[in-house]
Each structure stands twice: as structure tokens, then as C-alpha cells.
């Protein structure tokens, strides 16, 4: 870690599990910023696969797509969305159609809102790291 940053502390938004992410990256805010950027570059493709799989009613592909996006939320400290993905993934193949149809809209809302959270935090981190 850059020693010039070791005395500074960044305050993440409430959506981010601050303790988790600071521990994960040992307080390296430059690495956290870079990771947020990496996640954003890949994010839309992951979400598109989820939405397409859901609308095509391809449960194995949907389960796989959810499984693949799940770690991204851990990388950016969105552990509540990561847990929601795990829950959905675990029920994806066995849940009745009605249950899946009920569970998907709240997940979709979280998936769509997460991108904005990540973008805002990345911008804030970028400003913080310039100091």
C-alpha cells in the first residue's frame, strides 16, 4: 500500500459494506478504485446475460449468469446484493415458475441500481485518491 494513503480514511456509502471492502483490500484505496472500474467495464454484459436468460426462460443459463455476477458484488462491497444473488441462484433450478417470477423483479431492481452505486463510489474514490 502507498504509505502516503495509509493515514487517510474514505467513507463509503451506506450500501457498501465498508469493513468488508477495507479488509479485503487492506485499505488500499487505489486498488479499490481500480477494482470498481474493472467491475463497471464488465457489469453491463453480465446483467444483459441475466436478463436475456430470464426472459428466454433458460433456467440453467440464468443460474450460470447469476453465479458469474455474484463475485463482482463482493469485489465492490455490495455484500447484500451478493447474498441476494446467492439465494436466487440456489432456488433458480428448483423453484416453481411463480416463485421465480416473484423473486426476479426485486433482484432486477438491485442489479440495475448497483451500477449507479458503483459508478458514484468510483468517482468519489477517484477524487479521494487525488488528494
Q: Is residue 73 part of a domain?
A: yes
All cell numbers assigned to 105: 423483479
The per-residue pLDDT for 93 is 87
pLDDT along the chain (131 residues), means of 10: 59 96 95 98 97 96 97 97 96 92 96 97 96 88
Domain enclosing residue 79, as ranges:
25-130
Q: What is the distance between the alpha carbons of residues 88 and 109, in angstroms, rounded to a whole number?
A: 13
Q: Is residue 67 part of a domain?
A: yes
Tell me if 62 sits within 8 A of 50, measured CB to CB.
Answer: yes
CATH for 87? 1.20.120
Q: Is residue 3 part of a domain?
A: no
Q: Is residue 1 part of a domain?
A: no
Q: Is residue 5 part of a domain?
A: no
- Number of Cβ atoms within 10 Å of the Cβ of 92: 22
Count up the domains in the chain and report the number.
1
Q: Which of 125, 127, 112, 128 is nearest to 76 (CA)?
A: 125
- Global pTM reads 0.90
Tell me if 92 sits within 8 A of 100, measured CB to CB.
Answer: yes
Q: Is residue 7 part of a domain?
A: no
Q: Is residue 104 part of a domain?
A: yes
Tell me if 29 sits within 8 A of 129, measured CB to CB.
Answer: yes
Amino acid at each position: 500500500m502507498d504509505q502516503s494513503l495509509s493515514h487517510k480514511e474514505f467513507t463509503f456509502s451506506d450500501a457498501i459494506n465498508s469493513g468488508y471492502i477495507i479488509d479485503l483490500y487492506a485499505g488500499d484505496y487505489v486498488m479499490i478504485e481500480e477494482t470498481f472500474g474493472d467491475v463497471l467495464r464488465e457489469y453491463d454484459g453480465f446483467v444483459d446475460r441475466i436478463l436475456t436468460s430470464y426472459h428466454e426462460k433458460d433456467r440453467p443459463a440464468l443460474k450460470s449468469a447469476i453465479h458469474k455476477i455474484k463475485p463482482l458484488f463482493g469485489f465492490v462491497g455490495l455484500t447484500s446484493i451478493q447474498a441476494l444473488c446467492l439465494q436466487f441462484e440456489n432456488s433458480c433450478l428448483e423453484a416453481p415458475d411463480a416463485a421465480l417470477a416473484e423473486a426476479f423483479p426485486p433482484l432486477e431492481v438491485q442489479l440495475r441500481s448497483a451500477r449507479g452505486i458503483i459508478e458514484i463510489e468510483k468517482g468519489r474514490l477517484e477524487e479521494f485518491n487525488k488528494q
